[in-house]
Structure 1
Amino acid sequence: MANTDTIRTAIGVIGNVISFCLFMSPLPTFIKIWKAKSVQDFKPDPYVVTVLNCAMWAFYGLPFVTENNTLVITINSFGLVIEIIYTLVFFVFSDWSKRKKILLIILVELVFLVLVIFLVMYLVSAHKDRRLIVGCICVIFNVLMYFAPLTVMRQVIRTKSVKYMPFLLSVANFLNGVVWTIYALLKWDPFIVIPNGLGTLSGLLQLILYGIYYRTTRWDDDASPSINMV
């Protein structure tokens, strides 16, 4: 009978596959943006937030912070690269006011990341203390990543349209939260359980909204309301 570590590894591999799908699920959205040469009413919030989230989780998985978290490193390193690409696409096809906001957020994230790495590596020597500090930060940003689509969900409720809430992204968010919650429960890690449990809830809410407003969505209506980034 497989032991807990083996099962956890298998779940982690499944989590990597689903997380890969999560990171790739916005691709149809970016194809639309690329063809239209405009971001339209799509929002960059989830992608900009996820850049820092992936960077922090990749740092959390490194051996000098936590042990036996190679699968956390691999998927978040890939996620970091793909989210940077998505953010660049948004930057290229946005107007100047949105570009300035994206630049400001990315700059703040970069400064924050460098500061955290420096302070943790040079001022904190014990593994358990590093894990606690970085883990708490990861929880915060993982929650932000999962709930960044709340801005889009508010738009869905107001317009009674799911046109600008990609279905595949919502499904991937839900499944990703479920699998990584199970992964963390098998070898208790509250820093992975908490955000992914909330992520499961966020994904479920998005799917419920999709079911409610799918029929009222005018898929061919390009005259959608203009909504500012929040």
Structure 2
Amino acid sequence: MSNSASMHLQQWAFVFGILGNIVSIMVCLAPLLTFYQIYKKKETGGFKSTPYLFALCSAMFWIYYAFLKTDAILLITINTAGCVMETIYITMFLIYAPKKARIKTIRILGSLNLGLFSLILVLTMMLAKGLSRLKIVGWLCVAFSACVFAAPLSVLRLVIRTKSVEFMPFSLSFFLTLSAILWFFYGLLLKDLYVALPNIAGFAFGVLQMIMYAIYRNKKTVVKKVVITTTEEEDKEHPYQENNKSPNAHDHQYVAGNKTTISTTISGDHVISLGTIGNAEVHPIDLEVIEIDHIGVLGCENVTLEEV
């Protein structure tokens, strides 16, 4: 290939890299609304820190890879921005998460983002050189990128179970797909297998999400009714208060004698904002069986789940 043709490909790669940076930053900023809600409520609810921990680790490995490869400034810029944003998200999660989730997050952060990364950094610097070191780190980047791209699979499972796309906004799926396309061509034009390969998977997952969105976008969220029956002694021990609601709750409580009915929206694995029982929380549930363990509900004789 002539020098002019090679320069032409590098120029196009630079264009795709710039566009990839812009779109990827938009994707990195997508969780801001989620964490703003966490800040307002002063609690993390049912959100998990694992995706942000893996995204941070992936960005750290990509920065290491970019420094080893040299002349990969566009990989450094986007992954540095990713490290900053993921660190902010994880910090906010640690501030507002319950103790158990906080301890779990710290353990993963210490073992994965600090322990594993530091170990690989030391081993590759000591035991590998030149192209061999670059290949090892490159394949590690592919592996962690695959983990990050595979994270939405749990969301797809939730969409299929609930027939609702509430937790899978189309805009995010679209920009993830667009980002994968841009970075694929960036890697292809530079003949960088380690950049191009994981973005094939990213493109496939993104298209799958958009197909699922098209299938389920007009489906209604499943609405259930929880009927709780208590004894008079339990009513005296744990008195209920009507409509103790959080700002975002869509739940209503009606008390008639010893029977309390709570209407709430159930989306797959969670009851969202069960505000009639106490503070707004996200409780894991099953579509057929519901377990409520909270002050005011403990010791109920009978709990039934009915469709409204």
Q: TM-score, normalised by structure 2?
A: 0.68
Correspondence 1:47 to 2:58: no
The residue identity in structure 2 corresponding to 1:177 is A
Alignment of 1:176-215 (within 5 A): 176-215=179-218
In 2: Cα distance, 1:89 partner to 1:13 partner: 29
Q: Which has the higher strand share?
A: 2
Q: Is the 8 A contact 1:26 1:166 kept in 2?
A: no
Q: Which residue number corresponds to residue 99 of structure 1?
A: 102
Q: Which residue number corresponds to residue 134 of structure 1?
A: 137
In 1: Cα distance, 2:99 partner to 2:170 partner: 29
Q: Which residue number corresponds to residue 89 of structure 1?
A: 92
How many residue pairs match? The answer is 225
- Go from structure 1 to structure 2 and tell me whether the alpha carbon gap of 1:123 and 1:106 turns closer, same or farther (over 3 Å shift): same
Deviation at 1:160, TM superposition (A): 1.9
- Go from structure 1 to structure 2 and tell me whether the alpha carbon gap of 1:137 and 1:83 turns closer, same or farther (over 3 Å shift): same
Larger gyration radius, structure 1 or structure 2: 2
Task: Quote the sequence identity (%).
Answer: 34
Correspondence 1:152 to 2:155: yes
Counterpart among 108, 113, 120 of residue 117 in structure 2: 113
- Go from structure 1 to structure 2 and tell me whether the alpha carbon gap of 1:42 and 1:167 turns closer, same or farther (over 3 Å shift): farther
Deviation at 1:205, TM superposition (A): 1.5
- Go from structure 1 to structure 2 and tell me whether the alpha carbon gap of 1:202 and 1:28 turns closer, same or farther (over 3 Å shift): same
Counterpart among 160, 165, 175 of residue 162 in structure 1: 165
In 2: Cα distance, 1:162 partner to 1:39 partner: 21
In 1: Cα distance, 2:159 partner to 2:81 partner: 30
**Unaligned segments of structure 1, at least 5 residues:** none
Q: Which residue number corresponds to residue 33 of structure 1?
A: 38
In 2: Cα distance, 1:26 partner to 1:101 partner: 21
SS state at 1:163 partner: coil
Q: Is the 8 A contact 1:38 1:94 kept in 2?
A: yes
The residue identity in structure 1 corresponding to 2:82 is G
- Go from structure 1 to structure 2 and tell me whether the alpha carbon gap of 1:37 and 1:211 turns closer, same or farther (over 3 Å shift): farther
Deviation at 1:207, TM superposition (A): 1.8
Deviations 1:170-211 (A, max 9, x none): 222111111000111112111111111101111112222222
Q: TM-score, normalised by structure 1?
A: 0.89
SS state at 2:64 partner: helix
52-61 or 165-174, larger mean C-alpha shift: 165-174
In 1: Cα distance, 2:141 partner to 2:82 partner: 15
Q: Which has the higher helix share?
A: 1
Correspondence 1:123 to 2:127: yes
- Go from structure 1 to structure 2 and tell me whether the alpha carbon gap of 1:156 and 1:90 turns closer, same or farther (over 3 Å shift): farther
Alpha-carbon RMSD: 2.1
Deviation at 1:223, TM superposition (A): 4.2
The residue identity in structure 1 corresponding to 2:213 is Y
- Go from structure 1 to structure 2 and tell me whether the alpha carbon gap of 1:33 and 1:156 turns closer, same or farther (over 3 Å shift): farther
**Unaligned segments of structure 2, at least 5 residues:** 222-247, 251-263, 271-282, 286-308
- Which structure carries more relative contact order (alpha carbon 8 Å, separation 6+)? 1
Q: Is the 8 A contact 1:26 1:168 kept in 2?
A: no
The residue identity in structure 1 corresponding to 2:115 is V
- Go from structure 1 to structure 2 and tell me whether the alpha carbon gap of 1:166 and 1:87 turns closer, same or farther (over 3 Å shift): farther
Correspondence 1:227 to 2:284: yes
